[in-house]
Amino acid sequence: MTTGTLQDYFAALERLKQGRPNTVPKGMRITNDAVALEAGRGKGSIKKSRPIFYALIQAIDEAATAQSHPKYVEKERLRKAKESAEQCRRDLEAALAREVSLLREVYALKKQLSKLTGGKVLPLRGTAPAADTR
């Protein structure tokens, strides 16, 4: 096996570690088979019994271990998403409260206007009275 082929495997491993694979699906677990497929080789082409692959297999194992540890990162991302959703809920409730307050104010002003002009209170959400078209 040439060193160029081994370099292809290491380049594939780096792409997987960075989360930018070319051939395998993004987010795939880092395994010997994933690295082989990303390098353009077949599944099972990285053999543990071959001495030339010892350094590569060790690097793959380290990357796989590092990939499995960021569960705290996922938990942190989930916590931030929950906080964001809670903040959005609070903002929505505040906006709805403002809208209700403004609707009450509009109703009171329309009522006051009708007392001053002697007309009826107009509905808040309705169609305007149709004009007589005779």
pLDDT for 5: 82
pLDDT for 99: 97
Domain boundaries, the chain: 3-68, 71-117
Which residues of the chain register pLDDT less than 70? 1-2, 69-72, 119-134
pLDDT for 84: 96
- What separation, in Å, do the N-terminal and C-terminal C-alpha atoms of the chain show? 96
* pTM of the predicted protein model: 0.51
pLDDT for 1: 60
pLDDT for 133: 54
pLDDT for 130: 56
21 neighbors 28 (Cβ within 8 angstroms): yes
Tokens of 120: 């009826």
